[in-house]
Chain A
């Protein structure tokens, strides 16, 4: 009896051992190192020779115009990409929530952008946005939206909108699927009751659909926000933060400071600040998830 109790206590430890080891070595330990590094002055990647300087990196950081620039870029990119992703997701979810022939196939087409590797999505867009031969410049000029082809990725005020458009195209399927699931949870009776009370389609949308999606909305928007803070692959592959730092989010600033400018301690300070912001949003996220659970 005693041995069986012992065994059942040790079994979960055995089963969880490999995960624990991997998460500690590859995620937790580096994060702790990163936080520790933010208090050191060191430029070399083998950072053992660094000098402890307390909060000096953070002091310098908060006076650094490039830091505030990427803070601003992160905020604009976050708000714009979350809004665009959500709007596309909701619009397409409403379209696909109707009954029609071939809905499964069309839904798959709408999910496809999510399946493409991020790097490939970037390459296709760079090609489509090519200043001389890009198909988007052609379509836009043909439609009369722009008067001549634009160099999207080499002009500061065009690169960020292009990046937001790419993000929205690639990420909306996630929003769409979650919203579609949310829409299907709204009882049909509510729509019928609203119709009997004389509500038109617009009124039904604002008084039945949107309130019905409330708990899903909170979680989705927070999830998209967290993702926009952490996103590196897409931005790095598309612009590396340029031109003139116009697309340099905090994530990209962290990476560039470390690997382009070799300022390791300083990069760690940027990363630690980013981590704090993420932690704040995560706490809100968990709290919102918990609230949603309790409400049900």
Chain B
């Protein structure tokens, strides 16, 4: 056997190993989907690793028997507002942190880094009371505001990175041409930072979409539940139909997944740069 032949066998081995691990990592996704479209009872042994048939019955059932539709709309409202609020607020804040070096901005930088580390478990008890006093308790708006506060530090940090890469001279030129400072920023800098904006919109949407802990604590009535809370309520019931449960899980996952696949390239680049550069 010549060396190049041996090399080929070695790299084929690694490639196959990679595929095997990828399959194992992917399996829970596969199993969620297969369970949701299985035609026979879930309560059989051994489990059908390959589905014995295909049916969307579970999907129809949960829309008829559960408030999935309602929770879906609530989730869209909360995730959409979270995304809207945090993007608008983060744009201005990140611009300030990127372009002004004053005592105010450096205090804010520390404040933002610090707030990323706070334990939600400690925050949520007083927040519960504060929300009751402010009339935000059990409202979708209140939940979106809370989600926004939790995602904002990350969003600002990410956008600041994008703004830092755009030379100041570009806005200075626009200001000489008669723009105000903010005008120059909105008209010239913001369009250049569009990839960064896309990441922040999608990332805050996903985090609002997935949020469970705040939603579970700050929302009381079933009508205002979001999908994450509604889904977990299936458990603990006497007869748990796993097929319906997995159908609901698929419905919950797909929008987040689409957003994720859409931005993963930027997200990965931003994350890697942040981690390696410190």
Is the CB–CB distance between B278 and A23 below 8 Å? no
Nearest-Cβ distance from residue B270 to partner chain A, whole angstroms: 10
The distance in angstroms between the C-alpha atoms of A265 and B154, with both chains bound, is: 31
Is the CB–CB distance between B210 and A15 below 8 Å? no
Chain A hits for B176, CB < 8 A: none
The distance in angstroms between the C-alpha atoms of A31 and B42, with both chains bound, is: 46
Nearest-Cβ distance from residue A21 to partner chain B, whole angstroms: 9
User: Is residue B222 contacting chain A, with contact meaning CB distance below 8 A?
Assistant: no
User: Is residue A243 contacting chain B, with contact meaning CB distance below 8 A?
Assistant: no
User: Interface 1/0s, chain A 223-259, versus B by CB < 8 A?
Assistant: 0001001101100110000000000001110110011
Chain B hits for A125, CB < 8 A: 28
Is the CB–CB distance between B264 and A282 below 8 Å? no
Also in contact, A109 and B145, with CB within 8 A (given A11-B96, A119-B210, A133-B43): no
Select A19's contact among B125, B146, B152, B278, beta carbons within 8 Å.
B152
User: Is residue B268 contacting chain A, with contact meaning CB distance below 8 A?
Assistant: yes
User: Is residue A6 contacting chain B, with contact meaning CB distance below 8 A?
Assistant: no
Query: Of the 9-residue stretches A56-64, A192-200, A270-278, which lies at the interface with chain B?
Result: A270-278
List the A residue with the shortest CB-CB distance to B243: A127
Is the CB–CB distance between A113 and B28 below 8 Å? yes
The distance in angstroms between the C-alpha atoms of A123 and B232, with both chains bound, is: 8
List the A residue with the shortest CB-CB distance to B132: A46
Is the CB–CB distance between B276 and A185 below 8 Å? yes
Also in contact, A34 and B122, with CB within 8 A (given A45-B128, A113-B25, A292-B278): yes
Sort chain A's interface into a size bin.
35 or more
Grouping DSSP codes into helix (H, G, I), strand (E, B) and loop, the B interface class, with mixed when no group exceeds half, is helix
User: Is residue A112 contacting chain B, with contact meaning CB distance below 8 A?
Assistant: yes
Nearest-Cβ distance from residue A294 to partner chain B, whole angstroms: 10
User: Is residue A293 contacting chain B, with contact meaning CB distance below 8 A?
Assistant: yes
Chain A hits for B90, CB < 8 A: 19
Is the CB–CB distance between B121 and A232 below 8 Å? yes
Is the CB–CB distance between A13 and B28 below 8 Å? no
Also in contact, A121 and B28, with CB within 8 A (given A138-B45, A254-B119): yes
Query: How many Cβ-Cβ contacts under 8 Å join chain A to chain B?
Result: 277
Select A106's contact among B22, B97, B132, beta carbons within 8 Å.
B22
Is the CB–CB distance between B232 and A37 below 8 Å? no
Select A178's contact among B114, B128, B275, beta carbons within 8 Å.
B275
User: Is residue B272 contacting chain A, with contact meaning CB distance below 8 A?
Assistant: yes
- Which residue, A113, A118, A120, A236, has most C-beta atoms of chain B within 10 A? A120
Is the CB–CB distance between A181 and B276 below 8 Å? yes
The distance in angstroms between the C-alpha atoms of A250 and B181, with both chains bound, is: 48
Chain A hits for B271, CB < 8 A: 174, 177-178, 181
Is the CB–CB distance between A34 and B125 below 8 Å? yes
Tell me the chain B residues, 1-29 only, with Cβ under 8 Å from chain A: 11, 14-15, 17-19, 21-22, 25-26, 28-29
Select A182's contact among B31, B105, B276, beta carbons within 8 Å.
B276
Tell me the chain B residues, 185-231 only, with Cβ under 8 Å from chain A: 206, 209-210, 212-213, 216-217, 228, 231
User: Interface 1/0s, chain A 108-120, versus B by CB < 8 A?
Assistant: 1111110111111
Q: Give 19 A-B pairs besides A28-B111, A92-B21, A127-B242 with Cβ atoms closer than 8 angstroms.
A: A11-B96, A19-B90, A19-B112, A25-B149, A26-B127, A34-B122, A106-B22, A110-B21, A110-B25, A112-B25, A119-B212, A119-B252, A123-B231, A124-B31, A138-B46, A232-B121, A254-B121, A272-B122, A289-B278
Question: When A and B form their complex, which 10 residue pairs have the shortest distance between CB atoms, in order from nearest?
Answer: A271-B122, A181-B272, A26-B149, A33-B126, A30-B126, A15-B96, A115-B260, A117-B210, A254-B121, A15-B92
